[in-house]
Chain A
Amino acid sequence: DAMVIQNPRYQVTQFGKPVTLSCSQTLNHNVMYWYQQKSSQAPKLLFHYYDKDFNNEADTPDNFQSRRPNTSFCFLDIRSPGLGDAAMYLCATNQGLGADEKLFFGSGTQLSVL
């Protein structure tokens, strides 16, 4: 059974139209991450939550926001998507912040911007 679930699998939005991607987990992990993966590139960390503590990466655009209403759910909000935001968005979790802990990834949401 999937432990990190991302919905929808494919999302199409229009230029400038706000869009929300969702992630849920059944692992009860403390940490949740959002990565952006463009075609043939490395996944790039946007931000992460440790419990309710939000940690933004320095180069994450202001256009990207996140919410974590409870342990199980985390949302990625793109306020005004541009063509350059078309990418695969990956959610991941782990139990703690130890450097040797593995991440559990969802299957991703492929976002298209028209």
Chain B
Amino acid sequence: GNSVTQMEGPVTLSEEAFLTINCTYTATGYPSLFWYVQYPGEGLQLLLKATKADDKGSNKGFEATYRKETTSFHLEKGSVQVSDSAVYFCALSGGTSGSRLTFGEGTQLTVNP
């Protein structure tokens, strides 16, 4: 079946630091890959997505590239802000699970001023 593995958290950074959150996946076929973000007290919202190999998703300064050869979709941002503090979830759909999303366990990011 499908699965997603995220780097263990929590992650604490200073403002303007570089961020990487690792995500690897296992799936049959050609899944679509997503990053969702959950701000405190809110539901999940889509941050970015990529639907085929070598696609790069980007939004709000965040980027992730779909790497089929390494089955990875790492999230990066060059300069984080305090307002980026949230929980980040890597997810996939497709393959054996159809449209159903399979989530990673989430990574708590805290950015200090």
Q: Mark B67-92, 1 if CB is under 8 A from A, else 0.
A: 00000000000000000000001000
Chain A residues with CB under 8 Å of B93's CB are: 99-100
Q: Which of A41, A90, A98 contacts B99 (CB 8 A)?
A: A98
B43 with A106: CB separation less than 8 A: yes
Q: Which of B32, B43, B49, B89 has the most CB of A within 10 A?
A: B43
User: Does residue B11 face the partner (Cβ distance < 8 Å to A)?
Assistant: no
Q: Which of B41, B98, B101, B106 contacts A107 (CB 8 A)?
A: B41
A105 with B104: CB separation less than 8 A: no
Shortest beta-carbon distance from B86 to chain A in Å: 13
Shortest beta-carbon distance from B7 to chain A in Å: 14
The size class of the interface chain A forms with chain B is 20 to 34
User: Does residue A40 face the partner (Cβ distance < 8 Å to B)?
Assistant: yes
B99 with A31: CB separation less than 8 A: yes
Q: Which of B43, B49, B51 contacts A90 (CB 8 A)?
A: B43
Q: Which of A4, A94, A102 contacts B43 (CB 8 A)?
A: A4
A residues neighboring B (CB under 8 Å): 4, 6, 31, 33, 40-45, 48, 90, 92, 94, 96-103, 105-108
B residues neighboring A (CB under 8 Å): 4, 31-32, 34, 36, 41-46, 49, 51, 89, 93-94, 98-106
What are 17 inter-chain pairs, A to B, with CB distance below 8 A?
A: A33-B100, A42-B102, A42-B104, A42-B105, A43-B44, A43-B101, A44-B103, A94-B99, A98-B99, A99-B32, A99-B93, A99-B98, A100-B32, A100-B51, A100-B94, A103-B44, A107-B43
